[in-house]
Structure 1
Amino acid sequence: MSPAPAFVAGAGMIRFGKHPVDVTLERMGVGAARAALADAGADLADVDGLYMGHVFGGPVAGQRIGAQLGLDGKPVSNHENYCASGATAIREAWVALAAGLHDVVLVIGVEKMTDRIVGGVRPDPGDLDAAVGYVMAAGHGMSARRYMADHGATREQIAAVAVKNHAHSVHNPFAHYQKPISLEEVLGARPIAEPLGLLDCSPISDGAAAVLLCNRAGLRRLGLSGPVPRILAVGLVSGFVQTGLGDLNAEDVSRRAGEEAWTLSGVGPGEIDLVEMHDCFTIAEIVRLEGLGLVPRGQGGEWTAAGHTALGGQLPVNPSGGLLSRGHPVGATGTAQVCELTWQLRGTAGGRQVDGARTALAYCKGGSVNGTDGGSVSTVVMTR
C-alpha cells in the first residue's frame, strides 16, 4: 500500500544558468527556499525539517543552507543520488510526512557546477568506466547509434527532441536557455560524441529549486484550503548487475521504476497527461519514455518528429524545456521537475501550460555504475 500523499504547498526556483562565483550554493538554496515559502504563504516557524538534494555541495550542505535561511537547529538530511538527488530527498520527505514524523517540511535541490566541473561529467574516479575514459556523452552517443541501427530512426528525429524542448523553454522564466533553435542548428552543432552534437547535450548549469511539502495536518497548520497538488508516489530503483552483451537501450531500470510508480500510486501509464523527463541527451528522452511504457518501443523518434510529445500533442514531454534547455544543475533537477508539475497541475504555467493537466510524471536517472544498467532512477507521480 502506498503511503498517504504529500501535498505541495509551495514551489520556488531561481533561474538556472551560469552564475557568478559570488552566487554561492548557499545563496541559491536560500533564494529558492524563500520563494517556496512565500508561494505557500508560510513562515520559517512552520517548517519541521529540511531535506537536501545535491551532488557536489560538500559536507553538510543542507545544514549550511539551513543556518543561513534561519532553520538552524532543525533536523536536516542530505541526499546524494547523482541526478536523482533532488527527487530522492523528496521521497524521504514524503515517507516522513506519511509516517507523521513531520507535518511540514522543506525540500531543496541545489547545485553549483560551472566553477566545479571541467569538461564532461564522469562517473566516480574509482569506477571502471571512468578508468577507461568513459564520459556520459559517450554512452549516450553509443545509445543513439544503436537506436538508429535497430529501429531505423533518423538523426533528424533524434535532433527534434532538442528543437522541441528549446521551443518550450521560451515560455519558462527559470530556464537556462530561453530562445528557440532550428533543426539545422542542432545538426550543424559542434560534434561531441558521434552522432550527438553540442545541442544534443544538456548544459553545465547552476541553480536551485525548492518545494514545501505537508501532510493533512500540515495543510491545516498552514491554513490551506481548496485543491492543492499532491505527490501520490515516489518510486526509486537502482540498476541490476548485467551479464552478457544485453541490449544497450532495453531500459529495464526505467521499466522497473515505472512499475514501482504505478504500483505505489495506483495510476497507470495511460493516465499520464504530461511528463518531465530526464533528457540529459536527446536520445535519453526517447529511450526512457519507451522504457516506462509511455511510448511504443522503437517509435520514440517518430513520435517526437510528429509532434506527439510537444505542447498540444498526445503526450507533452518537458514543457519546462527539460534538462536540454531549462538546464541541469544535477542536484536541483528532480526538485525543479516537481516545481514544474506543481505549476502545471495548478494551471499557472503560462505559455507552456498543458491544457487539462490532471496527472503527471517526473523521471530522473542518476549516474552510472560499471556492470549495471544505471545508478539510481526516480519516478514521481503527481495529481491535482
Structure 2
Amino acid sequence: MNLAPAHVAGAGMVRFGKYPADVTLERLAVGAARAALADAGADLGQVDALSVGHVFGGPVAGQRVAAQLGLDGRPVSNHENYCASGATAVREAWVALAAGLHDVVLVIGVEKMTDRISGGVRPDPGDLDAAVGYVMAAGHAMSARRYMADHGATREQIAAVAVKNHAHSVHNPFAQYQKPIALEQVLGARQIAEPLGLLDCSPISDGAAAVVLCSPAGLRRLGLSGPVPRVLGVGLVSGAVQTGLGDLNAEDVSRRAGEEAWKLSGIGPDEIDLVEMHDCFTIAEIVRMEGLGLVPHGQGAAWAADGHTALGGRLPVNPSGGLLSRGHPVGATGAAQVCELTWQLRGTAGGRQVEGARTALAYCKGGTVNGTDGGSVTTVVMAR
C-alpha cells in the first residue's frame, strides 16, 4: 500500500512521573505540545489540526487542551483505545496527511492517572472478565506461568527484561525511574500476582508526549529541509473472537498487527533496527516480540537474559526504558514511543542511542475484551 509518508518535524515530552493535583492533565499536555512545536520551529498559526489520545481525561479533553494552548477553533479529535490511545491519535494524523486534509497536525498523548486510578487498571465493569475479578496483572501472571511451562524459561530470564529496561532508562531524562536495578531486586520485590512482583509491573504514571506531523508541503511551510524522520505506516487491529481453549501466548493479534505494519510500510521484520515495545509487564515484552515475528518463538526470555534485546545487542528493545521504567501514563505511551523513535532516527538519543538506527517500530496493545485476544493493537513503523 503506497500512502505518502508523514514526517515527524518535532517531538516533545514532559517527564513521566507522579504529579500533585494542581498539575492538571491540560498543563501536562500543553507542556509537551509547546516542546514539540519549539522542536519543529513551528508557531501555533501553522498548525492545521490537533489529534489527542487519552483514556481517563473526560469529555472533550482535547478541546480543553486546545483552548489553553491557543489552538481553539481548530479541528480537534479525541482518541480512546486504552493503552494504544496515543498511537491511535498518531494514526489519525497520518491518515489525514495522506488524504491531503491537513499539512501540519499536532498530536498529543496525555494522561493524569494518580488522581483517577487506585490500584491496577481493569477491564470495563460490564465485561465478563471484570465480573469474575480479572485484573491485568493476573492475566500476565498466567501468561508468565504458561510460558515457563511451555518453553522451559526461568523466572530469572523473565526478570531480566526489567533489569534491561531500567538500565536503559538511566540515560532518559523523561523517564519516571532513572536508576538501574539488580536481578535480585526484581526477584525479591513484593509479589503482585505470582510469579510477577512489583518490578515486573509498569507503574501508575502521569505525563504527556507530543509530535508535530507534516506532509511534504507542511515541511515547506515550516521551512524545514534535509532528512526528517518519516512515519511509513501506522497499523491498527483489534482482538478477534477466540473459540476453544487456544494458546494463552499465541499472540495472534500481534502477528496480525505486524502484518499490517509490514504491508503499510513496505518494511519487513528483518529490517527493523530497534523496537519500542508495550512492556506493561515483563512477560508482555517477551511474548509480543515473538508474536510480531521479531524474536523466534519460545526464545524471547532467553534473548532478554543473554543481552540480545539490550543496547548493543542484536535487536535493542525499549532503549527509552519502556513502560516498566519510563512509566505508563496510558494515553501518552504511544506518543512517547514515537518521540523516542524520532530521537533515535535523528541520532540524538544520547547514552541510549542505537548505533546506525535507520528503521524502527513501536507497538502498543490496549485493553482486553472477553472472548477475544485483545482490545486494540497499533504498530508504527518509522525510518530515517
Q: Structure 1 CA distance, aligned partners of 2:279 and 2:2?
A: 28
Spell out, residue by residue over 1:318-348, the C-alpha distance to the aligned partner (whole angstroms, 9 max, x if none): 0000000000000000000000000000000
SS of aligned partner of 2:110: strand
Structure 1 counterpart of 2:90: 90
Q: Structure 2 CA distance, aligned partners of 1:35 and 1:128?
A: 42
For residues 1-384 of structure 1, the aligned pairs below 5 Å read 1-384=1-384
Matched to 2:68, the amino acid is: Q
Tell me the CA shift for residue 3 of structure 1. 1.5
Contact persistence 1:233–1:382 (CA under 8 A): yes
SS of aligned partner of 1:121: coil
SS of aligned partner of 1:16: strand
Q: Structure 2 CA distance, aligned partners of 1:245 and 1:332?
A: 34
Report how many aligned residue pairs link the two structures: 384
Matched to 2:367, the amino acid is: G
Q: Structure 2 CA distance, aligned partners of 1:135 and 1:121?
A: 7
5+ residue gaps, structure 2: none
5+ residue gaps, structure 1: none
Q: Structure 2 CA distance, aligned partners of 1:344 and 1:355?
A: 9
Matched to 1:52, the amino acid is: V
SS of aligned partner of 1:319: coil
- With structure 2 as the length reference, what TM-score do the two structures score? 1.00
Spell out, residue by residue over 1:80-129, the C-alpha distance to the aligned partner (whole angstroms, 9 max, x if none): 00000000010010000011100000000000001110111100011011
Q: Structure 2 CA distance, aligned partners of 1:267 and 1:105?
A: 24
Spell out, residue by residue over 1:170-207, the C-alpha distance to the aligned partner (whole angstroms, 9 max, x if none): 00000000000000000000000000000000000000
Q: Structure 1 CA distance, aligned partners of 2:161 and 2:183?
A: 9
Q: Structure 1 CA distance, aligned partners of 2:343 and 2:186?
A: 29
SS of aligned partner of 1:15: strand
SS of aligned partner of 2:331: helix
SS of aligned partner of 1:173: coil
Q: Structure 1 CA distance, aligned partners of 2:263 and 2:48?
A: 29
Matched to 2:328, the amino acid is: H
Q: Structure 1 CA distance, aligned partners of 2:307 and 2:228?
A: 30
Spell out, residue by residue over 1:221-247, the C-alpha distance to the aligned partner (whole angstroms, 9 max, x if none): 000001000000000000100001000
Q: Percent identity?
A: 89
SS of aligned partner of 1:231: strand
Q: Structure 1 CA distance, aligned partners of 2:369 and 2:262?
A: 26
- With structure 1 as the length reference, what TM-score do the two structures score? 1.00
SS of aligned partner of 2:217: helix
SS of aligned partner of 1:172: coil
SS of aligned partner of 1:262: helix
Contact persistence 1:364–1:377 (CA under 8 A): yes
Spell out, residue by residue over 1:58-91, the C-alpha distance to the aligned partner (whole angstroms, 9 max, x if none): 0000000000000000000000000000000100
Contact persistence 1:239–1:372 (CA under 8 A): yes
SS of aligned partner of 2:57: coil
Matched to 1:39, the amino acid is: D
Q: Structure 2 CA distance, aligned partners of 1:104 and 1:22?
A: 31
How much is the aligned-residue C-alpha RMSD, in angstroms? Answer: 0.4
Matched to 1:278, the amino acid is: H
Q: Structure 2 CA distance, aligned partners of 1:226 and 1:139?
A: 46
Tell me the CA shift for residue 149 of structure 1. 0.1
Q: Structure 1 CA distance, aligned partners of 2:219 and 2:182?
A: 45
| Structure 1 residue ranges, 4+ long, deviating more than 2 angstroms after superposition | none
SS of aligned partner of 2:55: coil
Contact persistence 1:2–1:233 (CA under 8 A): no
Q: Structure 2 CA distance, aligned partners of 1:62 and 1:43?
A: 18
Q: Structure 2 CA distance, aligned partners of 1:21 and 1:311?
A: 36
Q: Structure 2 CA distance, aligned partners of 1:343 and 1:324?
A: 20
Matched to 1:177, the amino acid is: Y
Tell me the CA shift for residue 2 of structure 1. 3.3
SS of aligned partner of 1:134: coil
